[in-house]
Amino acid sequence: MPELYVDSVSHHFKNQNVLNGVHLQCNTGDIKGILGRNGCGKSTLLKCIFGSIKADHIYLKLNGKMIKKPAYLTQQIAYLPQHPFLPQQLKLETIINLLCNRYKKELLDIKLIQQHLKSKIATLSGGTVRLVEAILTIYSDADFVLLDEPFSQLSPVMIQEIKKHILLLKQHKAFVITDHYYRDIIDISTEIMLLKNGSNYAINSMEDLSLHNYIPYH
């Protein structure tokens, strides 16, 4: 079964140690939810795994094989960054033709996608771009999908739509997802971890989140 295994992730910026030996592992069917306060290093962790920043140290295996080059070069990992990444002047249809093969049919069956196929990205609202980017990443060819704040900017019904697609695709893929909409993360995740002071902690209840001072005590 496809497996992403990441261990001993460490990274610093100037004199700040952001990640200090983080561990993460997931297989097809897993949705790994990552929670943590602002600035604790969630985005940095996803970037280190994807390879868009070079970690001080990372031990990364894909399907049992050690990967030494940036993981995005394997094309087995897809990544939704926090910032918009689709080319503004291209039509959605062109982007799909360039990027999507494996789940193209399923993608083109989605009403929201059909609706905007002929539109240039520049003409879509900010939230719609976010929605389209999240759906394209979920339906990418990759077996492992990293999603950085896929729910931000989205109305509740659109958050529901994204959750539906993640749950549909998890039979074929593994997801690592982070967002401050923690209830939505908890709702779909098979496992939750909290990032704090550079380390990861297993979360088994809402009380754990209070104990770690991620959510306030009631």
Residues in contact with ligand ATP by the rule CB under 6 A: 13, 18, 36, 38-44
Q: Given the complex with ligand ATP, which of 52 and 123 has the nearer CB atom? A: 52
Q: Which CB sits closer to ligand ATP, 38 or 89?
A: 38
Query: How far apart are CB 9 and ligand ATP at their closest, in Å?
Result: 12
Minimal distance in Å, beta carbon 180 to ligand ATP? 6
Task: Say if strands 77-80 and 3-13 run parallel, antiparallel, or are unpaired.
Answer: unpaired
Using an 8 Å Cβ cutoff, are 32 and 174 in contact?
A: yes
38 vs 125 by CB, closer to ligand ATP: 38
Q: How far is the CB of 18 from ligand ATP (least distance, A)?
A: 5
Instruction: Provide the minimum distance between the beta carbon of 147 and ligand ATP in the complex, in angstroms, as a whole number.
Output: 12
The nearest distance, CB 67 to ligand ATP, in angstroms, is: 21
Q: Hey, what are 129's tokens? A: 């771009």
> Which residue, chain included where needed, has tokens 């996608």?
113
Query: Which CB, 39 or 127, lies closer to ligand ATP?
Result: 39
Residue whose CB is less far from ligand ATP, 41 or 51 = 41
Instruction: Write down the residue that tokens 């390879």 correspond to.
Output: 51
Q: Nearest CA to 174 among 14, 34, 25? A: 25
Pick 19 or 121: Cβ nearer ligand ATP: 19
Q: Could you say which DSSP state residue 91 is in? A: B
SS3 state at 193 = strand
Helix (H, G, I), strand (E, B) or coil at 22: strand
Distance CA 16, CA 41 (A): 11
Q: Which secondary-structure segment (H or E) carries 65?
A: strand 65-66
Sign of CA dihedral 43, 86, 53, 30: positive
Give the nearest distance from C-beta 118 to ligand ATP in angstroms.
33
